[in-house]
Amino acid sequence: MTAQDVGRMPLRKETDIVIARQAVRQLAIRLKFSLVDQTKMVTAASELARNALVYGGGGDMDWEVVHNGARRGLKLSFIDQGPGIPDMALALTDGWTSGGGLGLGLSGTRRLVNDFELHSEPGAGTRVVITRWQ
């Protein structure tokens, strides 16, 4: 693992979402993801970065190049210290959005990636971890 294989970037303002999108695209290109897989990962990252900023009051995006046997993947974690998600079942319902994002919601984001984890507690923030495998 190299320094380029792990990292963290802040999500504190709107421009950080653009920077996060660009970073995810560059990582996906470096991993030789297809254009479709690049787009899926960038779209998912954009939605989750916006959620961390808008609903979590800001947070961080961690990235890691991961390996599972011969497969390589890109793992992204979006962490905030916001109010948390009061109803995770509702938040994961297809078509549900609280507004302001891309309209994908967490359920749509989950469909764009291979692995999806959601951890949230009211008053303790939210952590969403996604992985896309090559």
Does the model's pTM come out above 0.85?
yes
State both tokens at 52: 């961390």
Q: Lowest mean pLDDT of 53-67, 83-97, 114-128, name the range.
A: 83-97
Of the chain, the percentage scoring pLDDT greater than 70 comes to 90
- 103 Cβ partners below 8 Å, 6+ apart? 97
> Distance (Å, rounded) from C-alpha 128 to C-alpha 53?
13
What is the band of 99 on the pLDDT scale with cuts at 50, 70, 90? Answer: low
pLDDT tens readout for residues 16-25: 999 999 999 9
Domain edges within the chain: 3-133
| CATH fold of 3-133 | Heat Shock Protein 90 (3.30.565)
